[in-house]
Amino acid sequence: MSEIDVVTVRGLRKIYDGRTVVDGLDLDVSAGEIVGLIGANGAGKTTTVECIQGLRRPDSGTLSVLGLDPVRQAEKLRMRIGSQLQDSALPDRLRVGEAVYLFGGRDPDGLLEQFGLARRRRSAFASLSGGERQRLFLVLALLNRPRLVILDELTQGLDPAARRSVWAAVDQLRRDGTTVLLVTHELDEAEALCDRVIAMRNGRILDAGAPEDLIDRHGRWATIRFTLPVGRRRDISLETLGTAGGVRAVEAVGERVTIHGDRTAIAYVGAMLTNSGWVPRDLWAHVPSLEDALLSLLDQAEIDDRAGPTTTTRHGDLTGATR
């Protein structure tokens, strides 16, 4: 483990009822970064973070978290990390202030104020909105000033406004220099918050890197669609559109035009249409996202599985920080 590593995992393996859930996983999390674990259900994300916290004993592999062994020093480690798990809950009648006293004795850093809950200090847990409950769990996770916070499906089931509120709270952790390990199915969340994401499938890492790097590698092609009436093809032709920067292919079915290319193609095609003196009213563009990249990775993994054992080349730095 380097001086700036908060988490170091080597060869982590966990088996349930004869099924390998985490399969030889290596992972480093460096101080001050937000790292997201993404992947479909059953990818091994939650089991991985439970092993990191000392909540589950791995079948093999080595783990070091804040210089401690989560297996042999689990109790000591739990005093140094904060966590919010998928099934976090509190008694309905417990008041916000009472929860803070129960978990930390006091609120030394004014966390209730910082996360917008000071006015709810005397409110019962049952009366809190979904976003307020998740912000309270963040406050409770931070009471002991942990260097590492682990968040598992933090915004699951929240409405868009509540999600944004919780995102702002997590971003505050980034500004304060707290290291965050985030498990999420919400890929727009991972894209917005994470310095680095780890894409997992069947307990293994498929690829890792900054969200934009995974998008470039696996979800690079943008799509542009619009109606180009035959009469307008005097102003701008399909052949001309094909010469725009970043364009890889131009398809036309009747008057419907579809253009594929990298993300820069959106700007170049837009400029070309504008310069022609005509911009279609139904112009639509899809920018590749982290969801596109993950789906592409999962599809390729399925193809590889059907093809049989091969030597897999993974992209990017799987363990180091990519900013």
Q: For 220-262, how does the pLDDT look when each residue is reduced to its tens digit (9 = 90+)? A: 899 999 999 988 988 899 999 999 999 999 999 999 999 999 9
pLDDT for 144 equals 83
Mean pLDDT of 120-132: 92
CATH number of 221-286: 3.30.70.980
The answer to whether the beta carbons of residues 6 and 35 sit under 8 Å apart is no
Q: Do domains 5-80+146-217 and 221-286 have the same CATH topology?
A: no
Q: In what order do the strands lie in the sheet with 222-227?
A: 247-253, 256-261, 222-227, 284-286
Check whether 62 has a pLDDT greater than 80.
yes
What's the whole-number average pLDDT of the chain?
89
Check whether 1 has a pLDDT greater than 60.
no
Q: Kindly indicate whether the domain formed by 5-80+146-217 is annotated with CATH number 3.40.50.720.
A: no
Mean pLDDT of 155-160: 81
**Which residues are 201's β-sheet partners?**
204
Taking only the tens place, the pLDDT of each residue in 160-193 is: 888 888 888 888 888 888 999 999 999 999 999 9
Mean pLDDT of 292-296: 94
3-state secondary structure of 223: strand
Q: DSSP secondary structure string, 143-205?
A: TT--SEEEEESTTTT--HHHHHHHHHHHHHHHHTT-EEEEE-S-HHHHHHH-SEEEEEETTEE
Taking only the tens place, the pLDDT of each residue in 189-216 is: 999 999 999 999 999 999 999 999 999 9
Q: What percent of the chain clears pLDDT 90, i.e. is strictly above it?
A: 65
Taking only the tens place, the pLDDT of each residue in 79-95 is: 899 988 766 789 999 99
Mean pLDDT of 19-30: 95
pLDDT for 177 equals 87
Strand 179-183 and strand 34-38: the pairing is parallel
Q: How far is CA 78 from the centre of its chain?
A: 24
What is the residue extent of each domain of the chain? 5-80+146-217, 221-286
The answer to whether the beta carbons of residues 35 and 180 sit under 8 Å apart is yes
Strand 19-30 and strand 5-16: the pairing is antiparallel
